[in-house]
Copies of this chain bind each other. A is one copy, B any other.
Amino acid sequence: MAKRDSQGKALSDYPRPSVAVDTAVLTVPAGGPLSVVAVTGDGDLRLPGTFLHEGETLADAVGRSLVEKAGITGIHPVQLHVFDAPDRDDRGWVLSVAHLAPVRMSQLADRARTELVPVAELPPMPFDHAEIVALAVAELRARHAEHPDPFGLLPEPTFTIRELHELHEAVAGHALPRDTFRRLMEPQLVPTGSLARGTVGKPAREFIRGGA
């Protein structure tokens, strides 16, 4: 039995918006550019989304929408912004909570249902989806600015500085000075004691994340 206010009304007696989630799923293909996962909607490419169900957190709804619409599992969404223009959706009063969900390529199990679009080459998208992508890219870049692989996007738990550097360059969308990068990141890494094998050139040390 829901509590009632001074006028005998429960919360559900008042007008309330529907709450949707829309997610910019960002990934870095091996050797490729930072890309966003798009799904096909009404003849266009758009971000996966859904409505929040009773008893769910927003992250639960994001997870459900990604499993259902894109076959993506194991995500850890980050809230970006609430889009709240009262007239943004012609079906009625809808708020959309925009999210970022960074994923490894290996988490994209069902590639037939999704399209990988480089964020630098975004096609027209409905609603405020282009803006959501921009917010997501900015957030991903901000988090990569100071810390090594903050979302665990590298394919393996151990990696070389070069591999880390390449990931961060793909995220940034431009070259990063290698020495400055190494000096910033290395103190935040733990050497495994092993060297990379089978690569051309001097074998590089391997690391995992962690450290001072």
| Closest B residue to A80 using CB positions | B79
- Within the assembled complex, what's the spacing in Å between the Cα atoms of A18 and B54? 11
With A19-B19, A91-B2, A95-B19 already in contact, the answer to whether A82 and B53 are too (CB < 8 A) is no
- Within the assembled complex, what's the spacing in Å between the Cα atoms of A65 and B93? 21
With A82-B58, A91-B3, A92-B2 already in contact, the answer to whether A16 and B14 are too (CB < 8 A) is no
**Residues of A within 8 Å of B, CB-based: how many?**
33
A65: min CB distance to chain B, Å: 15
A195 interfacial by beta-carbon distance below 8 Å: no
The count of identical subunits is 2
A15 interfacial by beta-carbon distance below 8 Å: yes
- Within the assembled complex, what's the spacing in Å between the Cα atoms of A99 and B10? 25
A177 interfacial by beta-carbon distance below 8 Å: no
With A58-B82, A86-B57 already in contact, the answer to whether A17 and B19 are too (CB < 8 A) is yes
A17: chain B residues within 8 A (beta carbon): 16, 19, 52, 54
Residue of B18, B82, B86, B97 touching A11 (CB-CB under 8 A): B18
With A17-B52, A19-B19, A82-B82 already in contact, the answer to whether A11 and B93 are too (CB < 8 A) is yes
A58: chain B residues within 8 A (beta carbon): 82, 84, 95
The 10 closest A-B pairs by CB, nearest first: A11-B92, A15-B54, A3-B91, A11-B18, A16-B16, A2-B92, A58-B84, A57-B84, A55-B86, A16-B18
